[in-house]
Amino acid sequence: PIILVWWPPTWKNLPKNKQFYLERNFQGECGNCRLTMNRRLLNQSKVVVFDNLPNAANLTAEQAYVLWHRETPAKTFHLRSAMVGVFDTMFNYTMSYRRDSDFRWYSGMMYVFSVKEISFTRLYIDEIIKSKRRLATWVVSNCNNTRGAVERKKYVFKLLEAGLKIDMYGKCFGQRITKNNFTTFLSSYKFYLAFENSWHCRDYVTEKFWRNGIMAGVVPVVWGPTKEDVAEVAPVGSYIHIEDFESPKALVDYLIYLDKNDHEYRRYFNWRKTAITEDGTEPMQTIRPGYEAPLCQMCRRIIQSKGKLPKRVLNSTLSWVFGN
């Protein structure tokens, strides 16, 4: 069976960082499916995953259509009017960062944890701690495109006023960090401000937390998602949530306290201690890149359903995207 990913650029002009979708075969635990972005295979595809709204005239009733919703409602509000009409009832399944999606795409999450308390890396805590030379940093390019972006910036400046030293980079501050040494650069900091561009957007935890924090060996300080949403996916004891503090000043005092107390700071890395089996070896962990997980799940569903996904219709795509 063929799964076609309908990305905004044509498949011939695909950016390098999206070439995973260009042509690939899923086998083994995923089933046996062909993943492609070649739109010439549209009529042969059993499932079409749309990252943008398609031309409805090109679609057939034999296929299942999946809406890939990657951004928050605040950032996709311009699509609200476009979804009225034919697109509102066109889609059969959803793929997004939300837990109620048919196929969950982990936004910015490089790995899916099978056991949240076990590390996905072999870096030892001592090696991570030794790399720390700076206190806190924030890298941001969305300065004020959403209300959440405006509010988080206000909170950051309250932290500065309360005495927290923050090195700020990105488009908003005119200081870029090259991609070649991005993770290495971040790893020299103790804390990363993992501030999302939306406040309490359901299940929205992105690369700001995973790549810039956890993967870089930095303790994320979280603003945006609810405490419950973060706890659902994050390793236990790996982050600091701003809602645990009554004021920005209280948070700053705590971060400065951790900076001066290595023992307490190290507690945020205890989750990285990998369990050891009886024979002294480290257990293998089943991990799958976040962008691959939902497509693998989709392929399994197709195989289990004898070559195609059962047709059904979302009552209202508009309500699903913007009503939660």
Of 245 and 308, the one with more pLDDT: 245
Q: What is the pLDDT of residues 183-194, one digit of tens each?
A: 889 999 999 999
What six digits make up the tokens of 260? 């001066």
* 142-170 CB burial, b ≥16 within 10 A, e <16: beeebebbebbbebbeebeebebebebbb
Instruction: Please give the average per-residue pLDDT across 137-154, as a whole number.
Output: 91
What are the C-alpha distances in Å from 256 to residues 127, 189, 271, 287? 21, 13, 22, 35
Using pLDDT thresholds of 50, 70 and 90, give the confidence band for residue 276.
very low
Residues 243, 296, single domain; the answer is no
Using pLDDT thresholds of 50, 70 and 90, give the confidence band for residue 275.
very low
Residue 23 in this model has a pLDDT that exceeds 90: no
Radius of gyration, alpha carbons of the chain: 21
Residue 200 in this model has a pLDDT that exceeds 90: yes
Residue 9 in this model has a pLDDT that exceeds 50: yes
Using pLDDT thresholds of 50, 70 and 90, give the confidence band for residue 39.
confident
Percent of the chain with pLDDT strictly greater than 70? 81
Residues 129, 64, single domain; the answer is no
Instruction: Please give the average per-residue pLDDT across 40-59, as a whole number.
Output: 79
In a domain, 279, yes or no: no
Q: What is the pLDDT of residues 292-324, one digit of tens each?
A: 778 888 999 999 888 888 878 888 888 888 875
Order of strands across the sheet that contains 166-169: 166-169, 134-139, 189-195, 219-223, 240-241
Alpha helices in 92-146 (DSSP H): 125-130
Closest CA to 307 of 24, 13, 32: 32
Is the Cα torsion angle 187, 114, 205, 242 positive or negative in sign?
negative
Q: What predicted TM-score, i.e. pTM, was given to this entire model?
A: 0.82
Q: Could you count the other beta carbons within 10 Å of the beta carbon of residue 258?
A: 20
In a domain, 206, yes or no: yes
Q: Could you count the other beta carbons within 10 Å of the beta carbon of residue 25?
A: 11
- Which pairing describes strands 134-139 and 2-6: parallel, antiparallel, or unpaired? unpaired
Residue 1 in this model has a pLDDT that exceeds 70: yes
Of 143 and 287, the one with more pLDDT: 143
Using pLDDT thresholds of 50, 70 and 90, give the confidence band for residue 283.
very low
3-state secondary structure of 182: helix
Q: What is the rounded distance in angstroms from the CA atom of residue 205 to the CA atom of residue 184?
A: 22
Q: Report, as residue numbers or ranges, the catalytic residues.
A: 71
Which residues are CB-neighbours of 291 under 8 A, at least 6 positions away? 20, 105, 106
Q: Could you count the other beta carbons within 10 Å of the beta carbon of residue 295?
A: 27
Q: Could you count the other beta carbons within 10 Å of the beta carbon of residue 183?
A: 15
Residues 96, 130, single domain; the answer is no
Residue 18 in this model has a pLDDT that exceeds 90: no
- For 73, the domain range is 2-105+290-322
Q: Looking at residue 132, which CATH number applies to its domain?
A: 3.40.50.11660
Residue 261 in this model has a pLDDT that exceeds 80: yes
What six digits make up the tokens of 59? 């679609």
Residues 65, 173, single domain; the answer is no
CB 266 within 8 Å of CB 237: no
- Which pairing describes strands 33-36 and 23-26: parallel, antiparallel, or unpaired? antiparallel
Residues 74, 130, single domain; the answer is no
- How many structural domains compose the chain? 2
Residue 285 in this model has a pLDDT that exceeds 70: no
Helix H or strand E encompassing 52: none
In a domain, 214, yes or no: yes
Q: Which residue has the tokens 């945006």?
A: 224
